[in-house]
Homo-oligomer: A and B are copies of this chain.
Amino acid sequence: MANCVVLLSGGLDSYTAAAIARADGFALHALTIHYGQRHAREIESARAVAAALGVTRHLELNLDLRAIGGSSLTSDMPVPRDRDLGAADIPSTYVPARNTIFLSLALGWAEVLGATDLVIGVNALDYSGYPDCRPEFVRAFEQLANLATRAGVEGATFRVHTPLIALSKAEIITRGIALGLDYGLTHSCYAPDAQGRPCRRCDSCVLRARGFSEAGVADPLLLR
């Protein structure tokens, strides 16, 4: 089995992307970043999801992006509620260069493992318009990875797998359920309350609710 490095946030998308990679025959090396996110509750979900997936290894790295700030997920800016998801603007929950930073860390680990496959659960359909979730970003990162590394110089070709990039949230959920995933383990909300309960009004909650609704499935997280 080939090794891959999968970015695992504890959310619904990265769980599904990891499960698809596992179904495709990869041994999963899961990477979770404590980046000072407001919703650090998702780290617990990442651990639960990693265990459920039977990953080969789950690595957690600390990198406090609050020192940089610039996002409502890493500063005191309020998380937007009830936002128009059809709006063209990029919301304040965008974290500057986040996926570039995270993929770079995944790349470093992959190189140490002798792996050339990275997996990320980005989605360019039911999403918040983040630039680093788009196919053109992913392709550019692959180009960079081949030039950035010893492995690339020695002839390796890195691939960033984005199995969800063209799926709707409902399709992601349907696919995950077919793979036997328990979405009750995940966490999506950007602004949970002190008990970790979802706000139901941030982009992430709204997209999740719409996805479960369109998939015709109850969200196990809300049944608890």
Q: Does A222 contact B (CB under 8 A)?
A: no
Residues on the B chain within 8 Å of A132, using CB? 147-149
Give the interface segment out of A42-50, A138-146, A192-200, A207-215: A138-146
A-B pairs with beta carbons under 8 Å apart, 29 shown: A59-B67, A61-B63, A62-B64, A65-B108, A69-B112, A70-B111, A94-B150, A96-B109, A96-B112, A97-B104, A97-B105, A97-B107, A97-B111, A97-B148, A97-B149, A100-B104, A100-B107, A101-B104, A101-B108, A131-B148, A131-B150, A131-B152, A131-B153, A134-B147, A136-B147, A140-B144, A140-B148, A143-B144, A144-B144
Query: Which 9 pairs between the two chains have the least Cβ-Cβ distance?
Result: A70-B112, A97-B108, A96-B111, A96-B108, A101-B104, A100-B104, A140-B144, A97-B107, A137-B147
Copies in the complex: 2
- Chain B's closest residue to A99 (CB) is B148
Interface residues of A in 118-144 (CB under 8 A from B): 131-132, 134, 136-137, 140-141, 143-144
Contact call A105/B101, Cβ cutoff below 8 A:
yes
Contact call B137/A148, Cβ cutoff below 8 A:
yes
Interface residues of A in 44-87 (CB under 8 A from B): 59, 61-65, 67-70
Q: Does A218 contact B (CB under 8 A)?
A: no
| Complex Cα gap A152–B97 (Å) | 11
Whole-angstrom distance between the Cβ of A56 and the nearest chain B Cβ: 15
Residues on the B chain within 8 Å of A108, using CB? 65, 68, 70, 95-98, 100-101
Contact call A61/B61, Cβ cutoff below 8 A:
no
Identify which of A132, A145, A150 gathers the most chain B CB atoms within 10 Å of its CB.
Answer: A150
Q: Does A179 contact B (CB under 8 A)?
A: no
Q: Does A90 contact B (CB under 8 A)?
A: yes
Contact call B63/A144, Cβ cutoff below 8 A:
no
- Chain B's closest residue to A108 (CB) is B97
- Chain B's closest residue to A70 (CB) is B112
Whole-angstrom distance between the Cβ of A4 and the nearest chain B Cβ: 15
**Contact of A147 (CB < 8 Å), options: B109, B131, B152:** B131
